[in-house]
Amino acid sequence: MEARIETKTQPTVIEPLIYDLGAPGRRVSTLLTACDVPESSLPTELMRDDLDLPEVSEMDVMRHYVRLSSMNHAIDKGFYPLGSCTMKYNPKIDEDTARIPGFAMLHPLQDPYTTQGALGLMHQLQTWLAEIAGFEVCSLQPAAGAQGEFAGVLIMRAYHLDRGDTKRTRILIPNSAHGTNPATSSMAGLKVVEIPSNADGDVDLDALRQEVDDTVVGMMITVPSTLGVFDEHIEDIIQIVHDAGGLMYMDGANMNAMLGVAKPGELGFDVMHYNLHKTFSTPHGGGGPGSGPCAVNEKLVGFLPGPIVGIIEPAKGENDAPLYGWVMPPRSIGRLKAFHGNFGMHVRAYTYICLHGAEGLNAISRHAVLNANYLRVELADTYRVPYNRICGHEVVLEGHFPDAPGIHALDISKRLMDFGIHPPTNYFPLIVPEALLIEPTESESKETLDHFIAVMKTIAAEARANPDLLHSAPHVTPVGRVDEVLAAKQLVLCCRPLREWSATP
């Protein structure tokens, strides 16, 4: 039974599915060697009788994916101000270094004697990431920000249990937080307590004081906040939670505003995670792979997920290198994924830090914050800016107008596409109505920003003069506005006829 989307008329196909290209019997015959060993008899009773994969030529495949690629917007094509994602330029040298065969062809389970270059790289990256944020030790194992958060929350929980304190089962999270924060906390078996924000977009300190007690594991907070502003009272927040015996976790998604600006460890945070695919420009890949290293202060070092890279034998002399190897932290929360983390992203982040050095890293945050504030002041008389003060590396606007009812953030976003610009993050943070979260990053020039400002003003004018233009947008993209309701209703997740297996074997 073949699953197919059902509509009144046959939908036009822009690019056929890979299965619909090719022909029966077509194959790519050039890839594999002939069998050079005596053949054993195959276990026919264990073998499948069908293998429904495409039958295409290499050129069919190449053209298909080239055409698919042309339907994507990407950083390398144009402005991509997706708030909280840090869509900065991805240096091409990073792609080269990650692919050096001495890295790409290295097996994770090889004896450490044979992988000292990789271990040395990871150890150095661990050290740099800890240093940049003011922490003691960093684990590179988490595969993405959400996994880094999970590590951090498990570490906080384990720390209290290790002290014999079993009362702490609640975790405090601002209502502006990214969805991964509460989702992560639930996965760790903790009860999420939401702390409201005040009119300035800062954590409501009175509400915080009310909720904080000795049943609290700690607090998760993003700096600068997801609203794009540096909380005026960050030290007070940390003090309040610490005084109650809780720990402070920093969601490092917004570190692009913090490099050389402040070290979370020095501010008083106990643990944080990085998003290498944001701050350190490892490419986003259409949805990953990312990397979410977790860094901790001295009292939490023993709990890190492992193994991590350690020095097994110190260097014998000045011109010698130490012997690196794997170390499991003594009270580790455990292994979070197989092997060692997304090493290919470690190589890219290492390359990025080498290119930038301290002065380059300092320049990143200063220019990211410069760009966001420039957009803020230039758009503030066209769009409502709920927190109109000096912001961090991103700024949130409201995508609606009192005199253009029926126009929503969604419509503005879709219309932006007609100008070759990827929309900002929509409807996040949840506490801002019709939120448009704009993060330009430091990569963008003043010309790009001025163009964006002009386009946003044009769209604001269109919202009043010609709202249908926004409602029917986008017009120039490969597909028009897609029907998300139909997708969920008909739920076609596979394009092949599916076997229905006979009664349970």
Partner 1 sequence: MTYIPHTDADREAMLAKIGVDSLDRLFDTIPAEHRFPVLDVPRPMSEMEVRWELEALANANAAAHEFPMFLGAGAYNHYIPSIVNHILLRSEFYTAYTPYQPEMSQGTLQAIFEWQSMLSVLTGMDAANASHYDGATSLAEAVTMAIAQGRGKRHKVIVSPNVHPQYRAVARTYHQGTGTKFVGDKSGQATLEDLTDMLDEGTALFVVQYPNFFGQIEDFNGLARKVHDAGALLCIVVDPIALGLLKSPGELGADIVVGEGQSLGIPLSFGGPYLGFFATKNEFVRKIAGRIVGETVDARGCKAYVMTLRPREQDIRREKASSNICTNQGLMALAASIYLAVMGKHGLRRVAELCYHKAHYAAQRIADLPGYGVQMKLPFFKEFIVTCSRPVSEINAMLFEDHHIIGGYDLSKDYPDRAGQMLVAVTETNPRAEIDDFVRALSLVAM
Contacts of 53 (CB under 8 A, 6+ apart): none
38 belongs to the binding site for partner 1 (CB under 8 A): yes
Positions 115 through 144 that interact with partner 1 (CB under 8 A): 115-118, 120-121, 128, 131-132, 134, 143-144
- Of 192 and 404, nearer to partner 1 (C-beta) is 192
Q: Does 312 bind partner 1 (CB under 8 A)?
A: no
CB 411 within 8 A of CB 466: no
Q: Which one among 79, 81, 82, 246 touches partner 1, defined by CB under 8 A?
A: 82
Q: Give the total of residues touching partner 1 (CB under 8 A).
A: 213
The rounded distance, in Å, linking the Cα atoms of 192 and 184 is 10
Longest CA–CA separation in the chain, Å = 80
Does residue 384 interact with partner 1 by CB under 8 A? Answer: no
What mask of x and - would describe binding to partner 1 in positions 168 to 207, judged by CB under 8 A?
A: ----------xxx-xxxxxxxxx-x---------------
| Residue 466 touches partner 1, criterion: CB under 8 A | no
* Beta carbons within 10 angstroms of residue 99's beta carbon: 12
- In whole angstroms, give the CA distance from residue 186 to residue 180: 10
Contacts for 308 with CB less than 8 Å, ≥ 6 apart:
126, 137, 138, 139, 140, 141, 326, 327, 329
319 versus 402: smaller Cβ distance to partner 1: 319
Nearer to partner 1, 207 or 372 (CB): 372
Q: Is 373 in the site for partner 1 (CB under 8 A)?
A: yes
Neighbours of 494 (CB within 10 A): 8
Within 8 A by CB and 6+ apart from 322, the residues are 311, 312, 313, 314, 315
Q: Report 271-300 residues binding partner 1 (CB under 8 A).
A: 275, 277, 283-290
Phi and psi for 248 in degrees, rounded to 5?
A: -115, 125
Query: Please, which of residues 239-278 interact with partner 1 by CB under 8 A?
Result: 259-263, 266-267, 275, 277
β-bridge partners, 82: 438
With binding defined as CB under 8 A, does residue 380 bind partner 1? no
403 vs 494, beta carbon nearer partner 1: 494
Site for partner 1 in 321-340 (CB under 8 A): 333-340
CB-wise, 115 or 407, nearer to partner 1? 115
Q: What are phi and psi of 217, to 5 degrees?
A: -65, -40
Smallest distance, partner 1 to C-beta of residue 108, A: 3
Peptide bond into 54 cis (omega under 30): no
**Sole binder of partner 1 in the list 138, 240, 369, 460 (CB under 8 A):** 369
Least distance in angstroms from the C-beta of 428 to partner 1: 7
Of the candidate spans 89-97, 203-211, 397-405, 454-462, the one that interacts with partner 1 by CB under 8 A turns out to be 89-97
